[in-house]
Structure 1
């Protein structure tokens, strides 16, 4: 009886989260976020590549190469085919003078996406009186820098694990080739697990730090996990759609690639907003029972 009640409550929260997303103009705000993401992605990559390029030269670790491979081999790479040439150009040939010339402009533009997400999440979390605009922008820049650090740590982690295995493989004799093959498979699973965990940390960080509301980190985990699950499911559905239904190419012609990227960003933003609405209702339900 108790289990069935919990299931019914969970279904109600899922449904009400969808209604709240619509009522709080989430459908419209997702379009706003997709535009900001398209606007911010290149300044973000230029700044980030310049940073990790500098780190690579200091520690002699191929961080930029790992970043490029992550973008190319991403499950979502096919949805941004029109952007990939410029992304690869940025990550392989970063502007050498960037850090001294355009750093302020790039940080301001790239951090705009954080300000846009904050505005949308404040709506989802029913924040009535957010701080003044300039203070919010300062927070957005700080959060942008924190995200840079998180991503740099993630890339370093993905490099260190294979490097450790290569070292062990060279200095420790493993006679059975089958054992090596099994370890390589386990290593790939470990890399995927690390990426998934960093993704949860990243989405959780957005939900925890961006809204102008005090929260417990554990309270925002359900929405973060739900968002990642929905992103994975949506990417498979969207990939099937653009493969078998050519309406986008027929309507938009030569700019279809840009439209596909915008549509992908739009639905990912919508799912992110939905996750925030879900978190708010879960927290509300928990408070009422408490």
Structure 2
């Protein structure tokens, strides 16, 4: 099942806001009716209005200073600096989107910033999540080449390759977020008297059905594929380093810590 809940369009509705009846002809955003009572419980429950935004707030509080420190810290290897700075910028955009999502959840899953902001925050959240995962995969490939094929890695134009890879990743990011920027994301829920952002969509509509399958494809290409690449690279690290070092336990522990750090950043 998708993360987004399903709603059906409501026709000729005259919602009440703050005790004042508003004409449907001038009402925005469009209205949806929830089909599942569990969805109503989730949108009004403490999990989505307290637990999730508190976690987002903690992530933002720790993540923004950490990524800012990475951007201002001098990194010796220029090629690594390009990729790490690209990763830090992507994470910063992701953290900014989490800030607005936390605001949305703290307000009882009620979006008050308008449709344009909803589209931008949604695209920024999903787009930078995928961009961060792809960047981590590229960093893992660079480490793999440096460890397993050091002579080939030394002869490579590392700065130029890293720059082109970063440009390609951000170009893919720009293309991937287009559907999320052009499809309606916020809807009014008369049952709850609130406006949701991306949480409830008319999934029977052709455009939103396309968005659903589009997300599934991007999950495979930009999350599952990087996961496999990172896992394979670190497996080769362990295989290579354990043949070259006598202290295998120390090597395995170090590699495992790096792998877990990358995985936590990826998700």
TM-score by length of structure 2 reads 0.30
Name the TM-score, length of structure 1 as normaliser: 0.28
Q: Which structure has the bigger radius of gyration?
A: 2
Tell me which of the two structures has the higher relative contact order, counting C-alpha pairs closer than 8 angstroms and 6 or more residues apart.
1
Higher share in helix: 1
